[in-house]
Structure 1
Amino acid sequence: MTIWDDRILEFIEENGSGSPGELEKSGFFQISRSQISRRLRRLKEKGMLQHLGNGVYVITPTGEEYLTGDLNAEELSDTEEENGAASA
């Protein structure tokens, strides 16, 4: 998790949804649109965002738990890695 991940989750929670273009235009991020897109995909892989199509993402209950401090992202990434290794 990076500071940008936290900001992306906060933005999407506050706005109900978000796309790379919306996040870039917000002026809230000091990273490129392609970097925003990569972070969105990574947050989706961790189960914190759901992709609705056409580049639009919404926050999931897992993402909300992370923002409230009820979820440790390190534990989540370990679980994701274990699941990836088991299915490989």
Structure 2
Amino acid sequence: MRYSGDWMVLADDRILEYIRSNESGRPKAMKDSGYVRYTRSYISQRCKKLVEHGLLRDLGNGVYTITERGERYLDGEIDTSEDRPDEIESHGNSGPSADENHEQV
């Protein structure tokens, strides 16, 4: 069973499943496949969100691959509702969190 966070939507699972089965993916290819039945723009937006949460890796030029963390989510091994993006990976473009447990340096 998968444990998705409140930030996740149904499209996220489809995107992760598609990329896992194809080793990588572009939003246009996902849309054209018929498996991810959303607009290319929406798929792209969700891919960026999945990157923020450490489930996908952005290789550039619109190509995404699944991370080990993404694999573990699909396998039901992690609960993404407990994640805080700053605990997963530093992205450089994320500002301070509103979360009271966020440590300031």
Greater percentage in helix: 1
Task: Determine the structure 2 residue equivalent to 1:80.
Answer: 85
Task: Determine the structure 2 residue equivalent to 1:56.
Answer: 63
Please report the TM-score for the alignment, with normalisation by the length of structure 1.
0.88
Letter in 1 for 2:79: N
Map Cα deviations across residues 28-62 of structure 1 (whole Å, 9 max, x no partner).
12211110000000000000000111100000001
> Gaps (5+ residues) in structure 1?
none
Residues matched between the structures, number: 85
Report how far residue 81 of structure 1 moved. Answer: 6.6
Equivalent position SS for 1:57: strand
2:48 to 41, 44, 48: 41
- Amino-acid identity (%): 45
Please report the TM-score for the alignment, with normalisation by the length of structure 2.
0.74
Whether 1:5 and 2:12 are equivalent positions in the alignment is yes
Task: Determine the structure 2 residue equivalent to 1:24.
Answer: 31
If asked which structure has higher relative contact order (CA below 8 Å, sep 6+), I would say 2
Structure 1 vs Structure 2 CA RMSD = 1.8
Report how far residue 3 of structure 1 moved. Answer: 1.1
Measured in 2, the distance between the counterparts of 1:57 and 1:49 equals 6
Measured in 1, the distance between the counterparts of 2:85 and 2:56 equals 14
* Higher Cα radius of gyration: 2
